[in-house]
Amino acid sequence: MARTIAVSGSASGIGESLAGLLRDQGDTVIGVDLKDAEVCADLAGPEGRARAVAEVLDRCGGTLDGVVACAGVSTVLQPPPTAVQSTSSARPTFTDLTVKVNFFGAVALLDGLRPALARAGRPRAAVVGSISATQPVDDAVLRACLDGDEPAALEAAARVVEAGAGNKLYPSSKSALAQWLRRACVTPDWAGAGIPLNAIAPGVVRTPMSAPLFEDERMFKAMNDAVPMPLNGYADAEVIAEALRWLISPANSHMTGQIIYIDGGAEPTLRGPGAF
Ligand code: NAI
């Protein structure tokens, strides 16, 4: 039966690939992105997040079969995007965006659309994390995210950058997202409402986000050292999209709170057998 699924980050990379797979199987996709989407909204700020939720609810009529929070930015992988506009008078730094989009944007979308999921027969939700969440993180950023305190998270992020450890912010945002998910998934709001909530944590995926890494010799080496992928190397976006498709399919009735590494073996290489 055709379903209605909201996908953030639907204009590029993994989100675009997932939207295509879902449309091909007859689903209605409500894409959310900065541009080239059914709902154009900036998930970096409260106004854009509220508009995204309101417009998705309007389009789906208040009942939604699935939500995938895929939109994200990477401090490590890209220079600041020019398309993103701040909702405040000050333009956000890219540091801000990592925490704003990857954590607070994703959580706001999921929380905002959860009541619409709860009205569906077999609702499902998923997020896109990252293998980088297994790397060193900043505890203050992590704690503030999990407390839902965005101003404190941004202050902590600024301190991290000042200390020259800005490369901890992307892992921190993705680790916070994974921990939020594992806390929320078993609550009455999610498990109690029959909504599985899981994550895919990719290794390196060939998308516009990762493209700059392949063009810079120094970054390329750093990437390969940080994310060793002995099984079949870098993945294409479709590989991640296929896994997300299953996670939000009716077939997934009993798995929740799982961070599934689709990373060519990076996670077992880095963490070894002792992680379990
Ligand atoms: P991408 O750059 O191709 O697509 C990301 C999409 O998110 C873009 O369409 C962009 O416009 C949208 N987006 C960014 N900021 C936004 C905002 N403020 N409001 C609304 N939409 C916004 O990147 P890709 O690779 O498809 O990334 C998808 C997810 O996968 C991200 O969460 C990323 O962190 C994650 N990921 C990607 C990896 C990779 O190697 N490409 C590795 C691990 C995780």
- Residues 102-137: tens digit of each pLDDT: 999 999 999 999 999 999 999 999 999 999 999 999
Whether pLDDT at 51 is above 50: yes
% of the chain at pLDDT higher than 90: 91
CA of 82 to the centre of ligand 1 (A): 15
> Which contiguous run of DSSP H or E holds residue 263?
none
Which residues contact residue 180 at a Cβ distance below 8 angstroms, ignoring those fewer than 6 apart?
Answer: 103, 107, 145, 146
Ligand 1 pocket test, candidate residues 8, 12, 75, most atoms within 8 A of CB: 12
CB of 96 sitting under 6 A from ligand 1? no
Q: What average pLDDT does range 147-170 have in this prediction? A: 95
pLDDT at position 73 is 96
Domain boundaries, the chain: 4-133+173-271
Q: What average pLDDT does range 157-179 have in this prediction? A: 95
CB of 43 sitting under 6 A from ligand 1? yes
pLDDT at position 79 is 44
pLDDT at position 276 is 83
Whether pLDDT at 181 is above 80: yes
CA of 167 to the centre of ligand 1 (A): 17
Which residues contact residue 272 at a Cβ distance below 8 angstroms, ignoring those fewer than 6 apart?
Answer: none
Position in ligand 1 atom list of the atom nearest CA 83: 11
In DSSP terms, which residues pair with 62 in a beta bridge?
none
Whether pLDDT at 1 is above 70: yes
CB of 14 sitting under 6 A from ligand 1? yes
Q: What average pLDDT does range 155-164 have in this prediction? A: 94
Specify the range with the lowest mean pLDDT, choosing from 28-37, 77-86, 103-112.
77-86
Whole-model pTM: value is: 0.94
| 3 state DSSP class of 33 | strand
Structure tokens of 164?
């020259």
CB of 9 sitting under 6 A from ligand 1? yes
Task: Tell me which of 3.40.50.720, 1.10.3720.10, 1.20.910.10, 3.40.50.300 is the CATH number of domain 4-133+173-271.
Answer: 3.40.50.720
Q: How many CA within 13 A on the CB side of residue 209?
A: 23
Instruction: For the beta carbon of residue 160, count every other beta carbon within 10 angstroms.
Output: 21
pLDDT at position 93 is 63
* Closest residue by CA, ligand 1 atom 23: 209
* Closest residue by CA, ligand 1 atom 41: 205
- Contact present, 38 and 95 (Cβ < 8 Å): no
- Contact present, 197 and 123 (Cβ < 8 Å): no
Structure tokens of 54?
């309101």
> 88: burial class by Cβ within 10 Å (0-12, 13-18, 19+)?
exposed
pLDDT, mean over the chain: 93
Report residue 76's pLDDT band, with 50, 70 and 90 as the boundaries: low
- Residues 228-245: tens digit of each pLDDT: 999 999 999 999 999 999
Structure tokens of 266?
């990076």
Specify the range with the lowest mean pLDDT, choosing from 77-91, 220-234, 254-268.
77-91
Catalytic residue status for 261: no
Ligand 1 pocket test, candidate residues 209, 214, 239, 261, most atoms within 8 A of CB: 209
Whether pLDDT at 176 is above 60: yes
pLDDT at position 88 is 42
pLDDT at position 166 is 92
